[in-house]
Amino acid sequence: MNKSSGVAYRVPSGVTGATLAKDLRLEWRSKDALNSMLFFSLLVVVVFSFSFDPNAEESRQIAGGLVWVAFLFAAVVALNQTWARELRNHVLDAYRVSPAPANSLFLAKALGNFIFVAVLEILMTPLFIMFYKLRPLGPAWQLIPVAALGTWALVVNGTFFAAISLRTRSREIMLPLLLFPVSIPALLAMVNATTAILTGQLSARFWIVLLTTYDVVFTIACLLLFELVLNAE
Amino acid sequence: MDASPIITLIAVVKHFGRFAALRGVSAEFASGRLYTILGDNGAGKTTLLRVLAGLAHPTSGGVSILGTTELRSVCQELGYMAHPSLLYDEMSGMENLRYFGHLYGIKDDSRCAANMTAVGLDAALTRPVAQYSQGMRQRLSLARALLNDPKLLLLDEPFSNVDGGSAREMVTLLCRMRSAGKTIFVVTHQTYLLEGVADEFVRMKAGQITNRTRELRPVETR
């Protein structure tokens, strides 16, 4: 059999944008992921604030960990939802038979999840500030790159591992089992950077650099491996 | 009609764990023909289509489509309609086709609308696919498979849950496509719809092609 010849393989352009727009439209209509994430985060904020009732100084020490753990658990909800949509009616098969590149799908899903988690963070941050009486003593603007890099660290791996656990029977359990151990270095960097900014005692620079390196390494690794995951049987 | 084979299968075996869905299928299929694949449930019809679509990788053996074994390189020339609809329930028909068009580099709305009309659906229909009848979903699913104007069309149960009149319209559309030089594979239990239409009836049993004829057997026409 001839291995070459055949028809020229044309890679279509604009697939990432079209897939991202489609995912945002589906989420806007169903609000499945956002509602679940908001409800979960809201519970964490309220329950913890009543359980501990910390003063302003204690809040600065624990808020970094509390905020990021809440967002990590909430993000898992969104991550499971993203791929669940592609399983209904086996829509993923329509993507797999098309000439669209696997990486475009991954990138669109990761960007979509980033937007969902970012919206959650924007909505929840005022509540965290209010319930925990937070006032950063360090450079507050640094919270923006920490939030952006930290959120990307969560969603890039989360999107990848959610795709891996897609075909497993108990994927809701499988995703945290795969994601959380891999996320520990990123989580450590996010929590320490946030705490450093809130308390103003140390520089967050090292942790921001670590987070950036983590994001670059894992984004490249996920992009390189996603085609294998997508076409696995 | 071009008589050269568009598909060549050489001893294709497909295992799912211990279960052998395909057991050494070897066959050649010429282009520009309409093939109907018949067989009981579990005969391997759907697995064969999935192997041809590149969705399932053979455990052993070789598949050549349009002269290449690199199936990814010919996916632009392939249309696939599965038993599930492969559609997003929350979006309208046009929104679905617009999205799937993007996957093939098609950004022309008029082409999506023409495809919907070709299968007897109204392109102006704004309600989500979740509110479509099963027959309408099947027709939209066919429109999606035709979107990239494929040379090879793989259809798994396209007439299931479609009313008689609509099914015959779909058959007429398939005939027109065959006349335009497309090669079409139809897996169906409603064989009577393709009697006198299909160029060949391919029978499968226990993961093998057991028989190929130009006519249906009397027992199969019901």
Across-strand partners of B92? B128
Q: What is the pLDDT of residues B166-205, one digit of tens each?
A: 889 899 999 999 999 999 999 999 888 998 899 999 999 9
Of A12, A15, A26, which is closest to B90 when you measure between CB atoms? A26
Between CA B26 and CA B101 the distance in angstroms is: 34
pLDDT in tens, B51-105: 999 999 999 999 999 999 998 899 999 999 999 999 999 999 999 999 999 999 9
The predicted structure's pLDDT at residue A6: 46
B chain contacts of residue A105, beta-carbon cutoff 8 Å: none
- What ranges make up the beta strands (E) of B5-161? 5-16, 19-30, 34-38, 60-65, 78-81, 152-156
Give chain A's residues under pLDDT 50.
Answer: 2-7
* Chain A residues touching residue B56 (CB < 8 angstroms): 233
**What is the rounded CA–CA span in Å between residue A102 and residue B103?**
11
In a domain, A134, yes or no: yes
**Using CB atoms, which residue from B70, B80, B104 is nearest to A6?**
B70
Cα–Cα distance between A58 and A199 in angstroms, integer? 10
Q: For residue A102, what is the nearest residue in chain B, using CA coordinates? A: B103
CB contact under 8 A, B89 and A88: yes
Domain annotation covers residue A126 = yes
Mean pLDDT, all residues of chain A: 88
Task: Name the residue facing A94 among B68, B107, B144 (closest C-beta).
Answer: B144
- Average predicted confidence (pLDDT) for chain B: 92
Q: Assign residue A53 a region: left if phi > 0, alpha if psi is -120 to 50, beta otherwise?
A: left
pTM for the structure as a whole: 0.90
Distance from C-alpha of B144 to C-alpha of B133, rounded to nearest angstrom: 16
User: What pLDDT, on the 0 to 100 scale, is given for residue A45?
Assistant: 85
**Considering only CA atoms, which of B137, B131, B122 is closest in space to residue B86?**
B137
Tell me the average pLDDT across B136-162. Answer: 93
Residue B157: predicted pLDDT: 92
Average pLDDT value for residue range B32-42 = 94
Helix (H) or strand (E) holding A152: helix A143-164
Shortest CA gap A82–chain B (Å): 13
- Encoded amino acid at A4, one letter: S
The C-alpha atoms of residue A161 and residue A226 are separated, in whole angstroms, by 10
Q: Establish if A56 belongs to a structural domain.
A: yes
A193 within domain boundaries: yes
Supply the pLDDT for residue B221: 66
A179 and A161 Cβ atoms separated by less than 8 Å: yes
Looking at the structure of chain A, the number of domains it has is 1
Report the pLDDT value the prediction gives residue A167, as an integer from 0 to 100. Answer: 77
Write the CA distances from A148 to A20, A212, B44, integer angstroms: 18, 10, 49
Contacts (Cβ under 8 Å, ≥6 apart) of A150: A68, A71, A186, A189, A190, A193, A211
Taking the C-alpha atoms of residue B18 and residue B22, their distance in angstroms, rounded to an integer, is: 12
Domain-embedded: residue A1? no
B55 contacts A93? CB cut-off 8 A: yes
Q: Which value does ipTM take for this structure?
A: 0.92
| Residue of B71, B95, B99, B104 best to disrupt the A interface, most CBs of A under 10 A | B99
Q: Which of B8, B57, B86 sits opposite A91 (nearest CB)?
A: B86
**In the CATH scheme, what is the homologous superfamily, with its name and number, of domain B33-54+78-220?**
P-loop containing nucleotide triphosphate hydrolases (3.40.50.300)
